[in-house]
């Protein structure tokens, strides 16, 4: 009996010895640095995916750094960052020869709404608050006022969408162009919504990397794309997780979070791709704004080959 007990103890000890140390074998996460212009809902796929562990599952320790777009693009070109989400400015930099490429598009529909003062009508609008003259917000405001038949308005530059919302609340402007969550904050408080630009195709958010990085680190870039796609897919499909996340991480009240989520579902570009005609339209617009007259091939600005590889691989699983 004693010998039997000894054998059992020895066997158990042996089993513990040969058990693989999964914690020790687990590869450490690789630090990846992404810059965004602001902690805004345009870039929520990155924040949501990080919170849900989707980037970690791909071996990525994602660090999201808020940085003004010119600084972010400069740091990316210098190799101080791995990615930027500043799509529009990256396009302009690539047109001028910067070795960077957009590898995915997270938002290709403009998320702006035109909100007026209580009791205001489109015909009575004299001025509109926008985040900046020449910005996408300014472009959206011009588009909306043209649709409403009132193009003789002044545009007030406020520097940020938050300031445009404040200008609306303070009656410093007849109307303001805002994005979520300010859209829901205003409409739920009784401010009239004169329409939106969700049908207008343009580049409002993307994923941009240096060309050498894309070439040399294909597997890691594909992992970043894969995590981003999974985050966008989960964001638009899992309302029960997304709304509480917006309440928690963006400090939104329940009604505002729920209303904001309805808008996000309409504008998130969950497949990360873009149609050729839409891409050409965006390129032509940016060329015109930048005063570039020569031909600019799309492959100088965009490389969607890895995105499409990832899609093909995910379909096979």
Q: 19 lies in a domain? A: no
Q: Which among 173, 197, 221 is the end of a domain?
A: 197
Does residue 91 sit in the same domain as residue 208?
A: yes
Cross-strand bridge partners of residue 84: 35, 208
Peptide bond between residue 181 and the one before it cis (omega within 30 degrees of 0): yes
Burial 148-180 (b: 16+ CB within 10 A, else e): bebeebebbebeebebbbbbbeeeebbbbbbbb
Q: 13 lies in a domain? A: no
Q: What is the CATH number of the domain that holds 123?
A: 3.40.190.10
Q: Which among 146, 177, 197 is the end of a domain?
A: 197
Task: State the residue range of the domain holding 149.
Answer: 113-197
Q: 141 lies in a domain? A: yes
Q: Answer yes or no: is pLDDT of 22 > 80.
A: no
Give the closest residue to 109 by CA, choosing from 275, 221, 259: 275
Give the closest residue to 244 by CA, choosing from 52, 46, 42: 52
pLDDT in tens, 122-153: 999 999 999 999 889 999 999 999 999 999 99
Q: 7 lies in a domain? A: no
Q: 15 lies in a domain? A: no
SS3 73: helix
In the chain, the number of structural domains is 2
Q: Answer yes or no: is pLDDT of 261 > 80.
A: yes
pLDDT in tens, 58-88: 999 999 999 988 999 999 999 999 999 998 8
Helices 218-237 and 305-316: crossing angle, nearest 10°? Answer: 60
pLDDT in tens, 196-222: 999 999 998 899 999 999 999 999 999
Does residue 246 sit in the same domain as residue 179?
A: no
Give the closest residue to 209 by CA, choosing from 190, 228, 234, 237: 228
pLDDT (0 to 100) of residue 293: 85
Confidence grade of residue 19 (pLDDT, cut at 50, 70, 90): very low
């Amino acid at each position: 009996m004693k010998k039997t007990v000894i054998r059992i103890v020895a066997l158990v000890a042996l089993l513990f010895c040969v058990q693989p140390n999964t914690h020790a074998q687990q590869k450490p996460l690789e630090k990846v640095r992404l810059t965004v212009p602001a902690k805004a809902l345009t870039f929520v796929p990155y924040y949501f995916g990080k919170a849900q562990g989707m980037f970690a599952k791909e071996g990525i320790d994602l660090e999201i750094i808020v940085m003004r777009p010119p600084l972010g693009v400069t740091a990316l070109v210098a190799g101080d960052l791995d990615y930027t989400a500043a799509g529009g400015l990256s396009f302009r930099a690539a047109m001028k020869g910067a070795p960077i490429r957009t590898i995915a598009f997270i938002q290709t529909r403009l998320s702006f709404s035109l909100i007026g003062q209580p009791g205001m009508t489109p015909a009575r609008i004299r001025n509109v608050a926008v985040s900046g003259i020449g910005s996408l917000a300014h472009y959206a405001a011009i588009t909306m006022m043209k649709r409403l038949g009132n193009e003789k308005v002044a545009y007030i530059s406020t520097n940020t969408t938050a300031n445009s919302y404040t200008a609306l609340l303070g009656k410093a402007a007849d109307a303001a162009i805002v994005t979520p969550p300010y859209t829901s904050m205003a409409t739920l408080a009784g401010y009239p919504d004169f329409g939106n630009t969700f049908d207008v195709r343009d580049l409002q958010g993307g994923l941009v990397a240096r060309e050498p990085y894309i070439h040399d680190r294909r597997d890691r870039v594909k992992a970043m794309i894969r995590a981003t796609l999974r985050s966008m897919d989960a964001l638009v499909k899992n309302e029960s997780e997304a709304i509480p996340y917006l309440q928690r991480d963006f400090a939104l009240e329940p009604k505002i979070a729920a209303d904001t989520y309805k808008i996000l579902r309409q504008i998130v570009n969950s497949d990360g791709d873009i149609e050729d005609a839409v891409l050409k339209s965006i390129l032509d617009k940016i060329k015109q704004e930048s005063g570039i007259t020569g031909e600019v091939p799309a492959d100088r600005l965009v490389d969607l080959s890895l995105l499409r590889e990832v899609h093909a691989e995910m379909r096979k699983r």
